[in-house]
Amino acid sequence: MDNPTLQKIAISGPTLASLIQRFSTSSSSIDGLLFGHVTHVTPLNLTDDSSTTDSPTLLATVTGFLSSPSPSTTSFFDSSGTVNTSSLHRLLLHHNSSLLGWFSARRKTPIRPSMHEFSVTASLSSLSQFSSPIKNATQPSNFNPCIFLLFASPTSDHTAHIHTHEYRAYQFRRAGNSFEAKSIDIINIGPAFRGHYGSFSPNSMFPALDCEIEGSRMKEDEERLSRMKQAAKDKKELDDYAVGFEIGKLSKLMGSEAMSYTAGLEDLYEKMLVKIQNLTRSVENSSAKVLELENHNRKLKHKISRSAASE
């Protein structure tokens, strides 16, 4: 029986970076196994149109990989592309995640599957004993390891500072005996990727955090907070911040006292303008004297330079 059709394949950013780094530091081509899970994800598209319904998306998420140290130690398939089930069992012995498929990374080659990779993927996808259950499925169903990731690099020098890598994802369809190209999502943190973390569970316990606060420091904070509250309640301290702006003075702008109070403010304003005008004139006269001194110094320097040249 053929696997259900995947809408897309997702891989976490750190996993993809680690895989590319493993490929970059290798002296030759590498391959290995892919682990993760397949989930039915319902899109959260909010709309006021009741006629539209969101269909679940079948998503395969790659969360880890296992690569061989060198091509000679790759033992889960032979030279003809047939998977060795006993060797595959030994490789999966210490991995709790489900097997999704495998990957191949090669240098300076076209980014398309080869006949050998086709044979390995076809053999791996036919092994139903390595299938994994689909999460959140309406009916219990399994997914055989039929995913294939292909990596290629146009540079042959693995010591170069800049590496250019291309990668593509495929799902092998046993019904048509062919590869189907699938889009790849790079999962990062953010609202757009919230659906990937709906059923997240940590694989390891977080270390215990020391949340104890010293008694003396806590006592100082309590005393400071108490003083702040007391200052807010003390009307006298608050009035000190509003000297000259009391509400009682504002009442003089209305009623019978408004005329005399306004006249006093206008008189004060005129005196301030006279002071500003006198200050402006003083600054202007000082600037004129400075300019006069600069011109006098310039003439003296010119006269001294001419006398020195004549000698």
Which helix or strand (DSSP H or E) is residue 143 part of?
Answer: strand 142-143
| Residue 304 CB partners (closer than 8 Å, separation 6+) | none
Alpha-carbon distance of 136 to 147, in angstroms, equals 20
217 falls within a domain = no
Instruction: List Cα–Cα distances, 229 to 129, 225, 233, in angstroms.
Output: 70, 6, 6
3 falls within a domain = no
Instruction: List Cα–Cα distances, 6 to 98, 112, 306, in angstroms.
Output: 16, 19, 94
Same domain, 64 and 181: yes
Q: One-letter amino acid identity for 37?
A: H
Same domain, 114 and 167: yes
Same domain, 88 and 189: yes
71 falls within a domain = yes
Segment 223-234, tens digit of pLDDT: 777 776 666 666
216 falls within a domain = no
Alpha-carbon distance of 20 to 65, in angstroms, equals 11
Neighbouring-strand partners of residue 38: 60
pTM of the model: 0.56
Q: Can you say whether residue 30 is alpha, beta or left, with left for phi > 0 and alpha for psi between -120 and 50 degrees?
A: beta
Same domain, 181 and 282: no
Segment 116-145, tens digit of pLDDT: 999 999 999 999 899 989 988 878 888 999
| Residue 124 CB partners (closer than 8 Å, separation 6+) | 77, 83, 101, 102, 130, 145, 146
Beta pairing class for 57-67 and 8-12: parallel
Secondary structure class of 157 (helix, strand, coil): coil
2 falls within a domain = no
Same domain, 153 and 280: no
Segment 45-77, tens digit of pLDDT: 555 555 555 566 888 999 889 887 554 445 688
Alpha helices in the chain (DSSP H): 13-24, 85-91, 115-125, 215-233, 235-240, 247-250, 258-310
Same domain, 156 and 241: no
Query: Total domain count for the chain?
Result: 2
Can you give the pLDDT at residue 124?
Answer: 93
CATH number, domain containing residue 90: 3.40.140.10
92 falls within a domain = yes
Same domain, 185 and 254: no
Same domain, 183 and 90: yes
- Number of Cβ within 10 Å of residue 52's Cβ equals 8
Same domain, 53 and 115: yes
212 falls within a domain = no
Domain region containing 158:
8-197
Query: What residues of the chain score a pLDDT lower than 70?
Result: 1, 43-56, 69-75, 154-163, 189-221, 228-262, 311
Same domain, 44 and 185: yes
219 falls within a domain = no
Same domain, 149 and 296: no
